[in-house]
Amino acid sequence: MTIFLRSSPLRMSMKQMSAAKGVVEIAEPVKRLTLPKNRRLVSNRQFKAVLDRRRRAGDALLTLWVAENRCGHARLGVSVGKSCGNAVVRNRLKRLIREAFRLSQEQVPAGYDYVLMVSANMARKLKHPKHGPETVRSMTRQKVQASLLALARTCFEADSTGRSRPDPIAPTNEGTISQGRSAQ
């Protein structure tokens, strides 16, 4: 237990505190926002399950794919292709995306899997020999976090407005026998 005196930010023992003549405040423990392995998508099968649902939203920075899960909490998958640059650039982008999600996990709806990818336009900018390094430096966690939250809102607003999304396995008329005159 950490105890602070209002007049002094120094830590004090219980013996020192009893002798002190200040008002004592007990600091509340800060909730740690972590991203353990059970909150991440790790297998190829998990990524494919999200991508097959075809619920996505994109902007100039990121593309977000969403699918329901049965875990009761949000899980994140990050995919950054080689078209974004070398390993240093790709790892920086993945760290930015993971950190933005980690800090935003209270604000995104629980019970969904999220796959975040760098958009194609951003990948082209990152790969550009002249402007690529500037683009990487200009990407901040705040920009990525704002993009993530906006895309999540867009994804769920589109569903609440009743727009129909294509069914991943839509029935086709091929191979069916019609009951009209042509089926004689």
CA distance to 44, 91, 140, 143, 169, per residue, from 162 (Å): 31, 38, 34, 29, 19
Mean pLDDT along residues 5-31: 57
| Residues 125, 136 contacting (CB under 8 angstroms) | no
Is 69 found in the same domain as 116?
yes
3-state secondary structure of 167: coil
| Residues 59, 151 contacting (CB under 8 angstroms) | yes
Written as six digits, the tokens of 39 are 């909150």
3-state secondary structure of 36: coil
pLDDT of amino acid 24 = 54
pLDDT of amino acid 68 = 93
pLDDT of amino acid 157 = 83
Is 139 found in the same domain as 95?
yes
Task: Report which DSSP code applies to 106.
Answer: T
Task: Report which DSSP code applies to 82.
Answer: G
pTM to 2 decimals? 0.68
| Residues 55, 65 contacting (CB under 8 angstroms) | yes
Is 144 found in the same domain as 66?
yes
Specify if 56 maps to a domain.
yes
Mean pLDDT along residues 175-179: 35
Cβ atoms within 10 Å, residue 162: 6
pLDDT of amino acid 38 = 87
Is 127 found in the same domain as 71?
yes
Is 51 found in the same domain as 6?
no
Q: What is the pLDDT of residues 23-78, one digit of tens each?
A: 555 666 666 677 888 899 999 999 999 999 989 999 999 999 999 999 899 999 99
Q: What is the pLDDT of residues 104-145, one digit of tens each?
A: 988 999 999 999 999 998 999 998 888 888 988 899 999 999
Separation of alpha carbons 179 and 184, rounded Å: 9
Is 76 found in the same domain as 7?
no
Is 1 found in the same domain as 25?
yes
- Residues with Cβ within 8 Å of 125's Cβ and at least 6 positions away in sequence, in order, are 131, 132, 135
Is 97 found in the same domain as 70?
yes
CATH number reported for the structural domain that contains residue 97 in this entry: 3.30.230.10
Specify if 169 maps to a domain.
no
Q: Structural domain of residue 9, as residue ranges?
A: 1-30
E strand or H helix at 158, and its extent?
helix 141-160
Confidence of residue 8 (pLDDT cuts 50, 70, 90): very low
Is 132 found in the same domain as 70?
yes
Tally of structural domains, the chain: 2
Specify if 129 maps to a domain.
yes
Specify if 165 maps to a domain.
no
Is 110 found in the same domain as 42?
yes
Separation of alpha carbons 165 and 53, rounded Å: 9
- Which residues are 58's β-sheet partners? 63
Q: Where are the beta strands (DSSP E) in 37-145?
A: 55-58, 62-68, 75-79, 112-118
Q: Is it the case that residue 146 has pLDDT exceeding 90?
A: yes
